[in-house]
């Protein structure tokens, strides 16, 4: 099986790019961030005190995450409920950024992610795919963009959905999440030594996809 790992900070466009690349190559797209968001959603719903490790461990014992595909779109199933549509709000995203640093949360999802790559050709995106989840991926991309560019993209996305958005707050949250993701003890966000650095600040989606497809030709 072949695999492409796309890592990078929040708002870099990883999911959008990974979906399009997987479609072009007829690979399965695996959104690991959505899995972490599903656990974050459960912890929020259950009002679990995330400062208490024992409470997180107890909560995780009641969580089952599975992945399904509908029209080639990943669906995240949390305890038999399809929660895909509930995973993209800011509260869940910020909670996921915090709880994904917890080693018990990461252990819960790591084997599921690796198993998907054993049985399928995959494009997988996240924070530590090339460094931790799929260290032997055929192609590794570190996709990034300036915090201002990422904030503007997120702002536009929220406005288009009819949600209230504060551009300054979005950028502040992005910078805070970057620092948290890069400094966490468990599998921090960083570029793998053999990953290709790709800054999309001045590129559109099609240009980024084309570049990754081009890079993949000699790798997979």
Query: For residue 89, what pLDDT band results from cuts at 50, 70 and 90?
Result: confident
Q: Tell whether 54 is covered by a domain.
A: no
Q: Is the pLDDT at 25 greater than 90, yes or no? A: yes
Distant-in-sequence, close-in-space partners of 218: CB < 8 Å, separation ≥ 6: none
Of the candidates 184, 111, 127, 143, the residue with the CA atom closest to the CA atom of residue 21: 143
Q: Tell whether 76 is covered by a domain.
A: no
> Which neighbouring-strand residues pair with 139?
4
Q: Tell whether 70 is covered by a domain.
A: no
Query: For residue 90, what pLDDT band results from cuts at 50, 70 and 90?
Result: confident
Q: Tell whether 209 is covered by a domain.
A: yes
Q: What is the pTM of this model?
A: 0.84
Q: Tell whether 61 is covered by a domain.
A: no
CATH code assigned at 119:
3.40.50.300
> Which DSSP string do the residues of 83-121 spell out, in sequence order?
-GGGS-SHHHHHHHHHHTTSHHHHHHHHHHHHHHHHHS-
Domain containing 124: what range?
3-31+90-216
Structure confidence at residue 84 (pLDDT): 95
Q: Tell whether 153 is covered by a domain.
A: yes
Total domains present in the chain? 1
Q: Is the pLDDT at 159 greater than 80, yes or no? A: yes
Tens digits of per-residue pLDDT, 57-78?
999 999 999 888 887 788 999 9
Q: Average model confidence (pLDDT) for the chain?
A: 93
> Which neighbouring-strand residues pair with 175?
none
Tens digits of per-residue pLDDT, 44-55?
999 999 999 999
3-state secondary structure of 48: coil
Displacement of CA 70 from its chain's centroid (Å):
19
Please indicate whether residue 220 or residue 212 has the higher confidence score (pLDDT).
212
Element (H, E) at 144: strand 139-144
Q: Tell whether 108 is covered by a domain.
A: yes
Q: Tell whether 44 is covered by a domain.
A: no
Q: Is the CB of residue 28 less than 8 Å from the CB of residue 22? A: yes
Paired tokens of 34:
């959505």
Structure confidence at residue 218 (pLDDT): 79
Q: How far apart are CA 196 and CA 214, in angstroms?
A: 12
């Amino acid at each position: 099986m072949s695999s492409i790992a796309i890592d990078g900070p929040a708002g870099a466009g990883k999911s959008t790019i990974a979906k399009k690349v997987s479609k072009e190559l007829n690979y399965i797209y695996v959104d690991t961030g959505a899995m972490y968001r599903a656990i974050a959603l459960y912890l929020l719903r259950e009002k679990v005190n995330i400062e208490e490790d024992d409470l997180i461990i107890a909560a995780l014992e009641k969580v089952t995450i599975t992945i399904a595909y509908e029209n080639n779109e990943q669906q995240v199933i949390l305890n038999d409920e399809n929660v895909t549509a509930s995973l993209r709000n800011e509260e869940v995203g910020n909670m996921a950024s915090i709880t994904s640093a917890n080693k018990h949360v990461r252990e819960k999802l790591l084997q599921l992610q690796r198993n998907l790559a054993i049985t399928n050709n995959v494009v997988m995106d996240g924070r530590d795919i090339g460094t931790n989840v799929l260290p032997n991926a055929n192609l590794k991309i570190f996709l990034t963009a300036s915090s201002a560019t990422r904030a503007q993209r997120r702002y536009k996305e929220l406005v288009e959905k009819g949600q209230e958005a504060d551009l300054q707050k979005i950028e502040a949250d992005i910078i805070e999440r970057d620092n948290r993701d890069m400094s966490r003890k468990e599998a921090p966000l960083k570029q793998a030594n053999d990953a290709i650095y790709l800054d999309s600040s001045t590129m559109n989606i099609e240009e980024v996809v084309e570049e990754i497809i081009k890079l993949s030709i000699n790798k997979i």
